[in-house]
Amino acid sequence: MSKPRFLYQLQIRCAPELEDEFNKWYNEVHMPLVMKGGMLKAATRYTLTDATVSDLPRYTTICEFEDRATFEKWLASDVLAAARANTAEVMGGKDVVWTSRAFYEPMVSFGD
C-alpha cells in the first residue's frame, strides 16, 4: 500500500458566463504553472453534480503533496508566486472567487 499524501483542497465559484473562459485558463495555464518544479505529486479537479442539492461551490481542486514540508516549500516558492501573479492578471476583477482553502494531513488509510 502506498503512503497517503497530504492534500490541499480549494473550492472555486465562477460566474456561469465565465465558466468556459475560466476552465480553459485553469486547465491550460494555471494548473501547468502550479505544477512546475515537481512539488505537487498530482492534482485533480472536480465539478459538483446534481446528485444532491447543494449550495457549495461548483469546482473543487485537490492537490497532492508528499509531505507537509513540501507543501510549505511550495507555498513560499517562485512557482506559486508566478501562478498567483498570472491569476491576478488574467482573472483579477472577474466574478471568480476562491471560496476556501484547506490543508489536510493523513489520519488513517483504508483499502488500497
8 A C-beta contact, residue 66 and residue 41 = yes
| pLDDT given at position 4 | 85
Quick check: 112 pLDDT over 90? no
pLDDT in tens, 45-104: 999 999 999 999 999 999 999 999 999 999 999 999 999 999 999 999 999 999 899 999
Q: Domain segments of the chain: what residues?
A: 6-51+63-94
Q: What is the pLDDT of residues 33-49, one digit of tens each?
A: 999 999 999 999 999 99
Return the pLDDT at 29: 97
Beta strands in the chain (DSSP E): 6-14, 40-47, 59-65, 96-104
Q: How far apart are CA 3 and CA 23, in angstroms?
A: 31
User: Residue 110 pLDDT more than 90?
Assistant: no
